[in-house]
Amino acid sequence: MTASLLVFAIGNESRGDDALGPLLLRQLQNEDPNAQVELIEDFQLQVEHITDLTGRERVLFVDADMSCAEPFYLSAISAEKDTSYTSHAMSPSALLHAYRQVYGHDAPPAFLLRIRGYDFELGNPLSGRAAANLEAANARVREWLA
Give the tens place of pLDDT for each residue, 100-120: 999 999 999 999 999 999 999
Confidence class for position 136, pLDDT limits 50, 70, 90:
very high
Q: Can you give the pLDDT at residue 81?
A: 86
Which residues pair with residue 90 across a beta bridge?
A: 45
Mean pLDDT taken over the chain? 91
Contacts of 30 (CB under 8 A, 6+ apart): none
Contacts of 97 (CB under 8 A, 6+ apart): 79, 80, 81, 82, 85
Contact predicate 76/110, CB 8 Å: yes
Confidence class for position 83, pLDDT limits 50, 70, 90:
low
The CATH class of the 5-145 domain is: alpha beta
| Residue 88 confidence (pLDDT) above 70 | no
**Stretch 70-81: mean pLDDT, rounded?**
95
Give the tens place of pLDDT for each residue, 24-49: 999 998 876 556 899 999 999 999 99
Contact predicate 3/35, CB 8 Å: no
Higher local confidence (pLDDT), 81 or 9: 9
Between 27-31, 63-67, 133-137, the lowest mean confidence (pLDDT) is in: 27-31
Q: Can you give the pLDDT at residue 84?
A: 59
Q: Can you give the pLDDT at residue 35?
A: 63
Contact predicate 103/51, CB 8 Å: no
Contact predicate 145/58, CB 8 Å: no
**Stretch 74-101: mean pLDDT, rounded?**
84
